[in-house]
Chains A and B, each alone.
Chain A
Amino acid sequence: MSVLKPLKAWKHLARKPHTIRYPAQEHLDMEGTRLPTDRLRGFHSNDLEKCIGCRMCGQICMNDAITYEEIPELEGKKGKNIRPVVDYGRCCFCGLCTDICPTNSLHLTPNFKLVSTDKHDYKFMPTQLITKNEDYEVELDKVIFDAKEYKEKF
């Protein structure tokens, strides 16, 4: 028991704070790995060419966050010509939809930053574009995908 021991806390005045100035400062863990790592469950990415429109992701989703939109250009490919549209106002990022995906086309990416004042911006069709950003910066206009804009690869 001591009255003076608690005063040891004063030496913290000269220490660096826990707080990081995000996003100006990087978020690193104790060993210096940059966070978030690839495992973080953020926005979806969907390979539209690989996806077969089987509606499994919509069935397992307990928040009814996944609806489907038709892409006429995909007619004649394997499966149906519908692709999932995710409402991020409902999504809880559990990732069950990606685990049930039979073709492994749907993934969760470590991207999670999306700022918009319009609530309709949070409902869009995830494409693969989102995974290509190496620096984890999400650019809004690249993420939001309109079914009419679909162009076939090659």
Chain B
Amino acid sequence: MKAIEIIGKGEEMHGRAYIPSGREEAGTIIKKLKENGFAHFVMLSCVDWIDKNEFELVYHMWSYEHKEHAMISVRLPRDNPSMFSMHELFPQIETYEREIHEMYGIDFEGNSRLTPFLLEGWHDTPPMRKDFDSKKFAEDVFDSIPEIKEEEDEGI
């Protein structure tokens, strides 16, 4: 595969290159791939591996020239996770980083716009983390709202 040849490591996964990378070298890998035809940044995903106590950031890139997809995977510890921002390479990464900062609590050094994106006035655990119990949250927040009783309800 082309992406694996460029970087010199990684494995093929159903026709897509999967490149594990360290936290520091990820920037160099993405820059190198961008210079070698991987011009389209598809998305930045985050996976919470709670058993291994790790977050996995997956940078998806696509090359229109080689018709190839590359996934660059960076593993971060779950306590105080932080990563370098790459919004200078691709401007739309800024939005993905904003969302991941909000939903997983990962800090991105160098991104000056880590403002609330989807949530408003959120002070709880970041909601997409596996240890956030959404059922308990719903019960705490919505069950405390008293049920509205309509007058006709009782009469008939």
Are any A and B Cβ atoms less than 8 Å apart in their complex? yes
Whole-angstrom distance between the alpha carbons of A118 and B156 in the complex?
Answer: 9
Whole-angstrom distance between the alpha carbons of A117 and B152 in the complex?
Answer: 9
Between A and B, how many residue pairs show CB distances below 8 Å?
3
Whole-angstrom distance between the alpha carbons of A117 and B153 in the complex?
Answer: 9
Minimum Cβ distance to chain B for residue A140 (Å): 15
**Smallest CB-CB separation from B156: which chain A residue?**
A118
Which residues from chain B contact A117 at a C-beta distance below 8 Å? Answer: 152
Whole-angstrom distance between the alpha carbons of A118 and B153 in the complex?
Answer: 7
Which residues from chain B contact A118 at a C-beta distance below 8 Å? Answer: 153, 156
**Contact size range, B:** under 10
Minimum Cβ distance to chain A for residue B31 (Å): 43
Whole-angstrom distance between the alpha carbons of A117 and B151 in the complex?
Answer: 12
**Smallest CB-CB separation from B153: which chain A residue?**
A118
Which residues from chain A contact B152 at a C-beta distance below 8 Å? Answer: 117
Minimum Cβ distance to chain B for residue A87 (Å): 16
Contact with B along A117-153 (1 / 0, CB 8 A): 1100000000000000000000000000000000000
Contact with A along B121-156 (1 / 0, CB 8 A): 000000000000000000000000000000011001
**Smallest CB-CB separation from A120: which chain B residue?**
B153
Interface residues of B in 31-60 (CB under 8 A from A): none
Minimum Cβ distance to chain B for residue A26 (Å): 34
Minimum Cβ distance to chain B for residue A116 (Å): 11
Which residues from chain A contact B156 at a C-beta distance below 8 Å? Answer: 118
Whole-angstrom distance between the alpha carbons of A118 and B150 in the complex?
Answer: 10
Whole-angstrom distance between the alpha carbons of A133 and B48 in the complex?
Answer: 52
Whole-angstrom distance between the alpha carbons of A100 and B52 in the complex?
Answer: 35
Minimum Cβ distance to chain B for residue A139 (Å): 20
**Smallest CB-CB separation from A117: which chain B residue?**
B152
Which residues from chain A contact B153 at a C-beta distance below 8 Å? Answer: 118
Minimum Cβ distance to chain B for residue A117 (Å): 7
Minimum Cβ distance to chain A for residue B114 (Å): 34
Minimum Cβ distance to chain B for residue A112 (Å): 25
Contact with B along A35-67 (1 / 0, CB 8 A): 000000000000000000000000000000000
Interface residues of A in 75-96 (CB under 8 A from B): none
Contact with B along A98-122 (1 / 0, CB 8 A): 0000000000000000000110000
Minimum Cβ distance to chain A for residue B134 (Å): 14
B→A interface (CB under 8 Å): 152-153, 156
A-B contact pairs, 3 of them (CB 8 A): A117-B152, A118-B153, A118-B156
3 closest A-B pairs by beta carbon, nearest first, are A117-B152, A118-B156, A118-B153
